[in-house]
A and B are shown apart, each in its own frame.
Chain A
């Protein structure tokens, strides 16, 4: 991809007054853009190599860590077959669990966050400022730190209502929804404020109530931020290990992060190929979605770093 086309330098002083088209000079080209390609190539090697490595490991039928070092030395789909056929690692179940938990959580987060953001952005009430402030302050203490308390709380609740107990995905989703207000609400609050309130007022004059204004007008106008928050929440949920590893115990109920980690850490070297296959399959949809929605994510990320 290194291009060798000569480029017109911007500095007028360097253009010789006599010639119309200058002869190609490698040195000038290199000083202007050539070295940038060198940096680019080096960075591509750095960023892409581990991904190629894991792809090659997943395709290597021998499947141990040692034998994965010969990149693309053997090609086969044995690891992928093992992945779905051995009962000790219910990969398909992990995959589905991750999807279900991630999607439910992100829909819930978007909905709860949008309700709160609408309230803060459009209504004036006593305690509004305090409310916004305390949302910010509560975020200082991430749920991650309270994992022991969450574990013990679910243990207690589980004795009374098994649905809210340990090893239950509904309980996990509810724990995640505890973090729905917070950073997300702030993201949305900022975006809601950019929607002119004259729209609401016009609708109100036409006889629309608050619920109708929210569901039929505002929600449509803020769709981009809803997508961003939903996606960020989905990514955060998928990447969560701490809380999900504590809550979900039975292998069939676990998520990819917990299942794959426990699977590979048991027998690190011999399970490598199968793990690699699982990693490739898990990463592909996420990466495809990410690259497809790149523009939106980046705009959302500038509002709150997550990685």
Chain B
């Protein structure tokens, strides 16, 4: 991506001579004033300063992968903007950085997550799982020593400042185990403060009670040694865990029952009789999620019906809005009619109304027990508009008609008005009746300009999450399914519910669904590109 500053429009046959290139460079140089140069250097300085700060933190955290990525990005940006060449890159780089991270990278990351068991119970790394298992099985050691304690705060993090029974002063917090410190302020044999830290007074402790009571500070690097906890913020006690981790054998042992849990590669410590200790950690499980999606009947069934409904919903939405919009465009495209502007403004109001609010308002109006439609329009009927599977699907299409017809009305009106009148008159001269004029002349011409918009509208509705989620919440819940999915869910709302709604979140399965949708959409796109030959227009 790097050639000079050649302008477009000049005939490509005329080869750019060296002299004109040089002239272009001189012109560039001459035009950029001192101010522009300063702004450019200033912005680069800001970027580099942020990068150096980030690298410093990453170095401390020893996160080498991200470290390398930041180095590469920063180097690339500096090279691009300090070099005299690479003009196109100067214009593309800012957008590309965001695109690469938040669009391209996340696609790849989705593919990666789809082959893991990431989700509730399998959230983090194995080390974190070990620590949290040991902590969750902690009990206070009976008759153990009492440690004098002061809570000290630094940069928003609370630390334990402990004086152990031998008189040694130690400091630690939830992330770092206790370590000996010197130079603490002592008062009555008890450390009460440390340079660089603020000691919390009684009132501060009371107001942060929950956070302090939840703190566990490990005594040493080895989680088996136990941890300190405090019930009151002034003295701490040693807690030991009923679980003990054997690093060499890679097993977790329950010290009370003697049951040994081993790492069997499923992302959790599992006992011989199959009992799993949760939380576990995330591991690569290969194609398990995909196999599950296609072979497990309680997932395959809903996946299939949701996919069919997604297509039906998107197609019917486009069809109904287009038919109504086109009809209205024809009706109101008559110059003899008065007050057309008035009708037009009022009719496009639903389109101006934010979509998610529209869906919520309709959810209220269609409410089975208290909604306006049932109580007032149907005189106290008890129709389950949103909770019966088929009625819910009908309601969704109806509400989407309300939301979407003004758009089709607007674009159809525009397209109709751009068809020259002469065509119509010529047809009438030849004896065509109004229907024939419409069917044979106007409609084909209209379709030429509207067809791309219909495809775009289909693509939009294919992922029209807001409408489904706000109106019916995907309901009614499909009882036969083992995942959180309902009768009126479309693919995207199913992904969202599997990943983020309810107690049992399954990121791996949700990502596998995402990839499946991606493949479906890609196939449709390839086919439709072939049909429209849209790509040939690119020059």
Give residues in A with beta carbon < 8 Å to B: 1, 3, 5, 7-8, 10, 32-33, 36-37, 39-40, 43-44, 46-48, 50-51, 53-54, 57, 64-66, 68-69, 111-113, 115-116, 118-119, 121-129, 131-133, 136, 138, 140-153, 160-161, 174-175, 177-182, 185, 196-198, 200-201, 204, 207-212, 214, 235, 238-239, 241-242, 245-246, 257, 260-261, 264-265, 268-269, 272, 275-276, 279, 282-283, 286-287, 290-291, 294, 298, 301-302, 304-307
* B92 CB contacts on chain A under 8 angstroms: 115-116, 119, 131
Nearest residue in B to A184 (C-beta to C-beta)? Answer: B95
Nearest residue in B to A129 (C-beta to C-beta)? Answer: B538
B496 and A147: CB pair below 8 A? yes
Most interface-central of B6, B12, B351, B364 (chain A CB within 10 A)? B364
B77 contacts partner chain A, Cβ-Cβ < 8 Å: no
* B106 CB contacts on chain A under 8 angstroms: 143, 146, 149-150, 153, 178
B328 and A302: CB pair below 8 A? no
Pick the contact of A301: B7, B113, B411 (CB < 8 A): B411
Q: Given A1-B342, A7-B336, A123-B5: A143 and B102 within 8 A (CB)?
A: yes
Q: Given A47-B346, A141-B107, A146-B106: A307 and B94 within 8 A (CB)?
A: no
Among all A-B residue pairs, the 7 with the closest Cβ atoms: A178-B102, A197-B9, A209-B31, A209-B28, A119-B91, A112-B95, A290-B352
B507 and A208: CB pair below 8 A? no
Chain A nearest Cβ from B319, distance in angstroms: 14
B27 and A241: CB pair below 8 A? no
Q: Given A1-B342, A65-B370, A133-B535: A115 and B94 within 8 A (CB)?
A: yes
A140 and B525: CB pair below 8 A? yes
CA distance A179 to B29 in the complex (A): 33
Pick the contact of A305: B54, B453, B511, B525 (CB < 8 A): B453
CA distance A264 to B402 in the complex (A): 21
Chain B nearest Cβ from A237, distance in angstroms: 11
Q: Given A138-B104, A305-B456: A148 and B372 within 8 A (CB)?
A: no
* A118 CB contacts on chain B under 8 angstroms: 91
A/B interface sample: 7 pairs, CB < 8 A:
A126-B2, A143-B102, A197-B8, A209-B32, A241-B356, A298-B411, A302-B414
B98 and A54: CB pair below 8 A? no
Interface residues of B in 12-45 (CB under 8 A from A): 12, 24, 27-32, 36
* B345 CB contacts on chain A under 8 angstroms: 291
Given contacts A145-B517, A182-B99, 11 further A-B contacts (CB under 8 A): A119-B92, A140-B521, A146-B106, A148-B110, A148-B511, A178-B99, A211-B31, A279-B361, A302-B411, A307-B403, A307-B404
Q: Given A149-B110, A283-B353: A175 and B102 within 8 A (CB)?
A: yes
B410 contacts partner chain A, Cβ-Cβ < 8 Å: yes
B362 and A152: CB pair below 8 A? no
> CB-CB contacts of B324-363 with A at 8 A, as 1s and 0s?
0000100110101111001101111111111111101111
Nearest residue in B to A54 (C-beta to C-beta)? Answer: B361
* A298 CB contacts on chain B under 8 angstroms: 410-411, 414
Give residues in B with beta carbon < 8 Å to A: 1-3, 5-10, 12, 24, 27-32, 36, 54, 57-58, 61, 63, 66, 87-88, 91-92, 94-96, 98-99, 101-107, 109-110, 113, 118, 328, 331-332, 334, 336-339, 342-343, 345-358, 360-365, 367, 369-372, 375-376, 402-404, 406-407, 410-411, 414, 449, 453, 456-457, 460, 463, 465-466, 469-470, 473, 492, 495-496, 499-500, 507, 510-511, 514, 517-518, 521-522, 525, 535, 538-539
B113 and A149: CB pair below 8 A? yes
Q: Given A69-B376, A279-B361: A210 and B356 within 8 A (CB)?
A: no
Most interface-central of B10, B36, B338 (chain A CB within 10 A)? B338
A145 and B463: CB pair below 8 A? yes
CA distance A180 to B24 in the complex (A): 30
CA distance A79 to B36 in the complex (A): 52
Chain B nearest Cβ from A41, distance in angstroms: 8
CA distance A199 to B1 in the complex (A): 25
* A127 CB contacts on chain B under 8 angstroms: 1
Nearest residue in A to B362 (C-beta to C-beta)? Answer: A50
Nearest residue in B to A178 (C-beta to C-beta)? Answer: B102
CA distance A50 to B355 in the complex (A): 13
CA distance A32 to B337 in the complex (A): 9
B402 and A47: CB pair below 8 A? yes
Chain B nearest Cβ from A280, distance in angstroms: 9
* A65 CB contacts on chain B under 8 angstroms: 364, 367, 370-371
* B96 CB contacts on chain A under 8 angstroms: 181
Q: Given A50-B402, A141-B521, A283-B354: A264 and B360 within 8 A (CB)?
A: yes
Q: Given A123-B5, A238-B354: A208 and B360 within 8 A (CB)?
A: no
Nearest residue in B to A65 (C-beta to C-beta)? Answer: B370
CA distance A33 to B339 in the complex (A): 11
CA distance A238 to B87 in the complex (A): 35
Pick the contact of A208: B27, B98, B456, B500 (CB < 8 A): B27
Chain B nearest Cβ from A70, distance in angstroms: 9
* A272 CB contacts on chain B under 8 angstroms: 364
* A43 CB contacts on chain B under 8 angstroms: 328, 343, 347
A177 and B98: CB pair below 8 A? yes
CA distance A283 to B359 in the complex (A): 13
Pick the contact of B352: A111, A268, A287 (CB < 8 A): A287
A115 and B91: CB pair below 8 A? yes
B118 and A152: CB pair below 8 A? yes
* B492 CB contacts on chain A under 8 angstroms: 144-145, 242
Q: Given A123-B88, A174-B102, A197-B9: A3 and B338 within 8 A (CB)?
A: yes
CA distance A197 to B5 in the complex (A): 14
* A282 CB contacts on chain B under 8 angstroms: 354, 357
Chain B nearest Cβ from A53, distance in angstroms: 6
B349 and A47: CB pair below 8 A? yes
CA distance A261 to B183 in the complex (A): 54
Chain A nearest Cβ from B145, distance in angstroms: 34
* A304 CB contacts on chain B under 8 angstroms: 456
B328 and A307: CB pair below 8 A? no
Pick the contact of A160: B61, B101, B349 (CB < 8 A): B61
Nearest residue in B to A190 (C-beta to C-beta)? Answer: B537
Nearest residue in A to B356 (C-beta to C-beta)? Answer: A257
Nearest residue in A to B108 (C-beta to C-beta)? Answer: A149
* B369 CB contacts on chain A under 8 angstroms: 66, 269
Pick the contact of A152: B88, B113, B372, B407 (CB < 8 A): B113
CA distance A212 to B30 in the complex (A): 11
Pick the contact of A51: B10, B350, B375, B507 (CB < 8 A): B350
B535 and A209: CB pair below 8 A? no
A209 and B104: CB pair below 8 A? no
Pick the contact of B538: A132, A198, A290 (CB < 8 A): A132
